[in-house]
Structure 1
Amino acid sequence: MTASRRRFLRFGAAAAAGAALPLCVSAQGRPVLRAGDQKGGLRALLESAGELKGLAYDIQWTEFPAAAPLAEALNAGAVDSGPIGDAPAIFALAAGTPIKIIGANRSDPFGTAVLVRANSPLRTAADLRGRNIGTNRGSIGHFVALKALESAGLKPEDASLRFLPPADAKLALVNGSIDAWATWEPYTALAETSGHARVLVSGRGLWSGLSYLAATDSALAARRELLGDFLQRVVRAQVWSYQHVDSFSAALARIIGIPPEAARLQFERRRTQWRNIDAQVIAEQQRTADFYLKAGLLKQRLDVRTTFDTRFPLPA
């Protein structure tokens, strides 16, 4: 068990115990929304755009390195809401995590990719045969790794998947313990700009680029108005960010603690746009779920229609 995993389990146990008490009101009597985040990206976005001003509630932030521990926190009731990719959402829902998807966005999937060392002899997806690939189980990196193998006519068992959190996978790639690392932004941009790695297979043509804002069933029952306001602020902040690329990229680097060149690269090429949940989004999510079933990673078919809450329309 990794150190980060042990730390999360300690946090989860404490938070689960605290969840028995209502954490919906601050000491000042204001409502509280417990927001999970990945690598500080959502908080940086809202802070930079000024969307954390004028709140009628307080936000209690908890940061996670990836979607899997965030999904565990949602399942434990330790956070009310958080950003999660389409593939991790499927694993969470299939495991019975009591959440709904309330908002959807689409990004250019290039940065969700299979990376290799800069001097690696691997050149195509076919070269992954017999190789060790590090990734988070159930992550969008895991999904892209499987799709990359499929694109080369390979089966999952034709490569060896090693399930590692991002920090461990990065180290394993650098020291040669694994041959490839299937990951996502900002880790892809960090690896590229450091000179340690290059993209072997990008997510374009393999992954939908869909990610979501998820909320627990209990939060939806008790804090629906807060969640609706929070989502609206996220959408407005995203629009603002692409109108202020220079200032936001600099703020992003400072807030999440990565080099400015990596922050700008991952931000600019993602071109994230929030969109209303519609039949197309639901159909694409169903295809992802069906792919995991085909790959043997789900025990039974998941009907994703019931996992979306469409009562959160976005601003025009």
Structure 2
Amino acid sequence: MTDDTPRGAAPSRRTILRAGSGAAAILPVGAILPLGIPAVHAAERTVRLSYQRSSTLLTVLKARGTLDERLKPLGFAPSWHLFTSVIEPMNAGAVDLHADVADAVPIFTQSAEAPLTFYAREVGAPSAEAIIVPAESPIRTIADLRGRTVGVSRGSGCHFILAAALKNAGLTFADIKPAYLQAPEGLAAFGQGSLDAWVIWDPFLAIAQAKRPVRVLADATGLSSYHRYYLANDRFVAENPRVVAVVYDALQDAGRWVKAEPDAAVALLAPIWGDLAPDIVATVNRRRTYAVTPVVRAELGEQQAIADTFHEAKLIPRKLDATAVKIWQPAPERG
């Protein structure tokens, strides 16, 4: 069943076929459960999900009630928790399924030995994060940031973009004045002229570009693919693989819906994102791929580059094998 399937419509063949391999079977009332799938108890359990303002697909699922519908046959109901800073709740295990995060964030959580499992990846969109300055600024290159105040969110994907860009220019964090600000604080500070430069991601990047003329010194192109990763608590994944499978399927369907119905997606997201102008939301949605895929260990090489850069910059205390992480994968499609 896709996000735009009418309520009460028959389940998709894909969903039913995958039920025996860890996915949820969404069956009509009165249907016989396939062999090996236990009946669902009446009492609902809560699955706690975090999200942040950049969590487009999770926001879509929340707004449309998709997970309320799809998790009910498993005896679960979603509970939503909004965070501006995600590393602390991820390290603390504050929720079961965590907000999608930029590629750099799992390096910090892995360094903290947080019990987290990768369960999905949104294919990268390097133009969706950038280092920007006011259009009238004399700063023209990354090298010009020497001695300047640069806003960045600690532990974010932009933290890596800044570190990598500085390194390419022969600079380090010691050569600038980093101002560690959460994205909403950075937006205000940049607008007030308190920052010489700001490293930020969408939708805040698109908001800043709409508020005043800005110059992009560099986006993530050539530095990072800006994949976004979805992680869950190890124990929750081990105990509830069918819930994870349902959420994974729903994320894929939400991504397809946003791209297939861009006007409807803008109408849904604009008021949720603080009554943003439709053109800002449309810009964000054009830059992001929203293509949700399995996490493949052999494709985590870029994560290692991030880990090595952070260790060299003394942002994490020890070297990491960034590929040595737990990964959940969906069952193979069966025709």
Task: Give the TM-score band, short-chain normalised.
Answer: 0.7 to 0.9
Q: 2:149 matched to 1:135? A: no
Q: Name 1:278's counterpart in structure 2.
A: 296
Alignment partner of 1:51 out of 66, 69, 77: 66
SS, match of residue 215 in structure 1: strand
- Higher-Rg structure is 2
Question: Hey, what's the Cα distance between the residues in 1 that align with 2:61 and 2:333?
Answer: 16
Structure 2 stretches of 5 or more lacking a match? 1-41
Q: Name 2:96's counterpart in structure 1.
A: 80
Alignment partner of 1:29 out of 12, 23, 43: 43
User: What letter is aligned with 1:60?
Assistant: S
Alignment partner of 1:294 out of 291, 307, 312: 312
- % identical aligned pairs: 31
Alignment CA distance shift 1:62-1:314 (3 Å) = farther
Deviation for aligned residue 1:47: 4.7
SS, match of residue 292 in structure 2: strand
Question: Hey, what's the Cα distance between the residues in 1 that align with 2:317 and 2:333?
Answer: 38
Q: 2:137 matched to 1:123? A: no
Which stretch shifts more, 274-283 or 188-197?
274-283
Q: Name 2:82's counterpart in structure 1.
A: 63
Deviation for aligned residue 1:313: 4.7
Q: Name 1:103's counterpart in structure 2.
A: 120
Report the TM-score when normalising by structure 1.
0.84
SS, match of residue 225 in structure 1: helix
CA contact (8 A) 1:86 1:212 kept: yes
Deviation for aligned residue 1:50: 6.6
CA contact (8 A) 1:290 1:301 kept: yes
Deviation for aligned residue 1:160: 1.6
CA contact (8 A) 2:71 2:246 kept: no
Alignment CA distance shift 1:208-1:229 (3 Å) = same
Task: Give the CA RMSD over aligned residues.
Answer: 2.1
Q: Name 1:9's counterpart in structure 2.
A: none
Q: 2:194 matched to 1:177? A: yes
Deviation for aligned residue 1:150: 2.0
Deviation for aligned residue 1:163: 0.8
Work out the number of aligned pairs and report it: 286
Question: Hey, what's the Cα distance between the residues in 1 that align with 2:173 and 2:331?
Answer: 39
SS, match of residue 66 in structure 2: coil
Structure 1 stretches of 5 or more lacking a match? 1-27
Question: Hey, what's the Cα distance between the residues in 2 that align with 1:155 and 1:163?
Answer: 15
Question: Hey, what's the Cα distance between the residues in 1 that align with 2:331 and 2:277?
Answer: 35
Report the structure, 1 or 2, having the larger helix content.
Answer: 1
Question: Hey, what's the Cα distance between the residues in 2 that align with 1:170 and 1:311?
Answer: 37
Question: Hey, what's the Cα distance between the residues in 1 that align with 2:298 and 2:172?
Answer: 28
CA contact (8 A) 2:125 2:227 kept: no
Question: Hey, what's the Cα distance between the residues in 2 that align with 1:225 and 1:309?
Answer: 15
Question: Hey, what's the Cα distance between the residues in 1 that align with 2:287 and 2:329?
Answer: 30
Question: Hey, what's the Cα distance between the residues in 2 that align with 1:206 and 1:99?
Answer: 25
SS, match of residue 323 in structure 2: helix
Q: 2:171 matched to 1:154? A: yes
